[in-house]
Structures are given as structure tokens and as C-alpha cells.
Structure 1
Amino acid sequence: MGATGGSGVLAAGLLWVALVAAVTEEPPAHALAEVLFCQPAMPSLGLALTFDADQLFWFDFPGSRWTPRLPDLPPWPPALEPPTQLLRDATLCQDLRRALTALAAGMLPESKGIPVADVFPVQPPALGEATTLVCMVANIFPPAVEISWQLDGVPVTQGVTHTHYTPTADLTFIRFSYLSVTPAAGDIYTCIVTHEGDNASVVAYWVPPNPVTSEVLETALCGAAMALGILLALLGIAMVLAARRSAHG
């Protein structure tokens, strides 16, 4: 995370609460972490349960329920952490954030991370066949970014889904955005990441590969085979002529 002077805000007003359990029987160790964050920006609250770098569950505060990251995960046991307790923790987080921000105002700079974006397809793409593009945005801090898509400079909103923020071991966040596409030759897909309140954006591009068509490939192979045949024929004629000259000599 980088620091910028002049704002006098305590780390964007974020407070982390984490519970980590490490399995040390054999390397590498694994970590199960529960991370709660609160901030003035949206989303104002976030709570995620992760195993190593993978998010398992996130807590839906408006709905007061745990939601699995993947649909085939079993439901979170409601008696393990009652929603009322988590809502009290969230209130405490906001109260502490406001108190610490008031104490540190004018003393500590604002801490920000510069997002890093990368766009790639879920599976090897083929022109004219439907696939999904993934925009992976890492080094997010604070967790308040907007991710948008463009096709040839035109905004795209259909077929777009976003994940919730996943905390990482280096105290930043990662987030994914997905776009359903049917790539065509010459398409230029753009993933744009913007921090709330910033005038700068991080942009990542993806251009579908332009493979050689089967007809062109067949023509090239036939041409190469013909050229090789002519070369071998000329070599054979040269060898015959050389042998005859040796015999007459």
C-alpha cells in the first residue's frame, strides 16, 4: 500500500478484524481467515471468510445472512456466528473507525493501493464461439473501486457480473469481474478500474487471437509440400548428372 500526503485521513478509515488458524503439520501452512472492514465509501461494510487466497463466504449485511461464493458450497451454520452478533461487531467497527479517524486527522496520511488489472478468457477462445472474459483486479485498497467494460470504446453492461472483495495476506483486496462475450476478429475489450474520488483509472485490454483459417493453413501446407517436392527433384537430378560426369571422366 502506498501513502499520499495532505489528506490527513487514517488509512481511509478502515478497521480490520481477522481470525486466523494455521495448519502446521506439513508445509505449506494454510490459513482460515474472517475479515471485517468498514469505511466511509461504499460498500461501507464488508465481511468475508477466506481459505488461503480463496473466498468461501461473504456476509450480506442488508439480508443478515452468509452467502457462499460458489453455489455448491454447503450453507453456513447459523448458530456458529449469529447475525445479531455480526451486526454488533459491524457497529463497533464503525464507531472505532470514526473515533480513530478523529484522533488521527491531520497527523497520518491516507493510505492507498494502485490497482493492478489483468484480462483473460476462462478457456481458450475461438472466434464466433461464446466464452467469458475475466478482469482480475488486485492490490485494491481501500475496497471501493468501480469496474466497467467496453467493446471497441462503447460501454457494455449486459452479461457483466462482479464478485465481492476478497482480502489478501498483504492487507489489500482482490476483486473479479466477468463478461460474457462472443469474440470476433478485430474486437478490443477493455476493463476499466476506477477508485472512488480519483481522477485516474487503470485500464486493461484483451484482443481475441486471429488464428489462421483452415483454408489458408491447407494452402500453406500444400505450397510447402510442393516446394519441398520440387527441391528434392532438383537435388535428385543434380546427383544423377554428377554421377554421369564421374562415370565419363
Structure 2
Amino acid sequence: MNMPQLRLSVDCLHTLVLLLPLLATLGHCDDDNYLSQVLFCQPSEPSLGLLKMFNEDQMFNYNFGDNSVSPWIPDFEKWRDLAFPDTLTIASHENLCVQFREELTVALKNITPEARGGSLVTVFTAHPLRLGMQNTLICAINDVYPPALTITWRKNAVILSRELNSYKYFAMGDLSFQAFSYLNVTPYLNDVFSCEVKVAGDSSTIIAYWIPQYPIHSDLVENILCGLGFTLGIIFLLLGFWFFCCAKKLHNTE
């Protein structure tokens, strides 16, 4: 199967397979919350993935490569064994993926795929910006189908880290996927950070830049504001004393 046919297979397969979680919703807490399983399947890596979601927040991820379960946060560790307890269901998911791929490859053999846009990448801080203070940059990758992502962080064009993200995805309510990458930094004025995302099977690279927005050091801003507040307090105190003296003098004159 050539590359155009492969891409169309991925898109159509993504749409078909992601209809399953809506039918496989495990239970409703109320009208606004739901627990669900999301299965994705594609020819490229990772070829198969299974997520346990609460609304649009990931709780667990099942890795078909080594048959392991990964909690999204340490607090979920105590429920790891309860996340995907039915091994027969896991095997049926894998068989369903293989069947879909084989049948769609044949069905879409001579169909020309439609062009589609790339993923949207944005970078922001986890905490309010303070120059010279440690913070965390978050690279959010939206509207991404879950092939393997190579995510490269740079500071002033120098590579800081490079990671391969193959399994950590969030399934959104509109049947799209979202992924994140994190970088601990200590930003200073004139620093330029970038998050570069390369999708497996795609020759293009998506780049998002982030630079500090404060023109002066945050500590200096705090010192200036404290100084202004103290000065205004003294001024208002003197004005109050002056008005008191004037009122007392006027009273004595009468």
C-alpha cells in the first residue's frame, strides 16, 4: 500500500474506530461526566492503543507492545489492576484492529485521498512567569492522529531534549487526539524557546516558539511596586495630617 493510500486508511480508520468509544461508554456519573475506553488503530507506530478516560482526562493507558498498564498520575497506581481486567476483551481489540486494517487496505486501494491540515502546536507556561525563577514549559499538540511524535525542545536554537511520544495521548470529545510535552526551564530576558513536532510518516516539522514577555526582571517589578505603595502611603499620611491641622486652625479662628 503506497503512502497516499496509507494516509487515507489512517483517516478513515480513525473515524470508524473512534465511534466505538461512544458505544462502549462504561457508565455515567451524571449528565456532565462519563467514563470511557478509547481504542485507536493504524498502520504506523503505535499501531494500536487503548485509553481509559474520565471525560477528556486520561486515567490509564494500555501498551500493547509489552501488555502493561500505565497510570497517568501516581494517585491512580492503586487502581492499575482494575483498569483493564478483561484479557479476552484486550485480545478482541487487537483482532479488530488487524481486521480493519486488512479490509480497509483493500477497499481504499484505488481511491485518491483528500488533503488535510496538520496539527496545531502551542507553548505556554505551567505557572505565572517570573524571570530568573524555575518554571515549566508545556507544548500542547492538538488535532493529532496518534502516530509516533518526535518532540524536540530548543533554547536559542540549541537542542535541550528530544523524545519519542508513542502512547501518551488524550482522546477529545470531537474524536481528535491531543498530546503534551513538558520542559523545566529558568527563563531570562531574550531567551527563545521552541517546541518542534515531527509526525511519523510526515516529512514536515511543526514549530511553536515561546519568549518571555516581561521587559524587566520580575523582582525589579515587585520592588518598584512596593516602593510606589510605600511612597503613596507616606503622601496620604502627610495629606491627612495637613488637612487635620487646617481644620483645627479654622476651628480656632471661628
Q: CA deviation at 1:194?
A: 1.9
Amino acid at match of 2:62: F
CA-to-aligned-CA distance 1:13-53 (integer Å, 9 cap, x gap)? 5433322256385x5x3232211112111111111011111
Which residue matches 1:209?
Answer: 213
SS of 2:105's partner is helix
Aligned residue among 55, 58, 62 for 2:61? 58
TM-superposed deviation, 1:121: 1.1
CA pair 215-24 structure 1, distance change in 2 beyond 3 A: closer
Matches of 1:66 and 1:167, distance apart in 2: 17
- In structure 1, C-alpha distance between the alignment counterparts of 2:213 and 2:150, rounded to whole Å: 28
Between the aligned partners of 2:29 and 2:214, the Cα distance in structure 1 is 48
Post-superposition shift, 1:212?
Answer: 3.0
Instruction: Give 3-state SS (helix, strand or coil) of 1:56's partner.
Output: strand
Instruction: Show the counterpart of 1:247.
Output: none
The alignment covers a number of residue pairs equal to 217
Q: Is the 8 A contact 1:145 1:194 kept in 2?
A: yes
Give 3-state SS (helix, strand or coil) of 1:119's partner: strand
1 or 2, which has the higher helix percentage?
Answer: 2
**Among residues 183, 196, 199, which one is paired with 1:179 in the alignment?**
183
Residue 80 of structure 1: how far off its partner (Å): 5.6
Query: Structure 1 stretches of 5 or more lacking a match?
Result: 1-5, 230-249
1:68 corresponds to:
71
Corresponding position of 2:37: 34
Aligned to 1:7: 4
Name the residue aligned to 2:48: 45
State the Cα deviation string for residues 144-173 of structure 1 (Å, max 9, x = none): 432221111112217x79570111122211
Distance in 1 (CA, whole Å) between partners of 2:88 and 2:80 is 15
Equivalent residue number for residue 25 of structure 2: 20
Residues 128-207 of structure 1 correspond to what in structure 2 (within 5 A)?
Answer: 128-157=132-161, 164-207=168-211
* Structure 1 CA distance for aligned equivalents of residues 73 and 184 of structure 2: 18
Written as runs of structure 1 = structure 2, the 5 A alignment for 1:238-249 is none
Q: Distance in 2 between matches of 1:96 and 1:185?
A: 52
Q: From the superposition, tell whether residues 164 and 113 of structure 1 become closer, same or farther in structure 2 (CA, over 3 Å).
A: farther
Q: Deviations over 1:41-81 (max 9, x none)?
A: 11111110111110011002233132111111132345963
TM-score by length of 2: 0.72
- CA–CA separation in structure 2 for the residues paired with 1:66 and 1:111: 35
State whether residues 52 and 59 of structure 2, in contact with CA within 8 Å, keep that contact through their aligned partners in structure 1. yes
Distance change (3 Å), C-alpha of 1:30 and 1:133: same
Q: Which has the higher strand share?
A: 1
Q: Distance in 1 between matches of 2:135 and 2:181?
A: 14
Please give the secondary structure, in 2, of the residue aligned with 1:72.
helix
Instruction: State the Cα distance separating 1:109 from its structure 2 match.
Output: 1.8
Paired letter, 1:70: I
| Contact 1:161 1:179 (8 Å CA) reproduced | no
CA RMSD of aligned residues (A): 3.2
CA contact (8 A) 1:11 1:111 kept: no
Q: Is the 8 A contact 2:189 2:215 kept in 1?
A: no
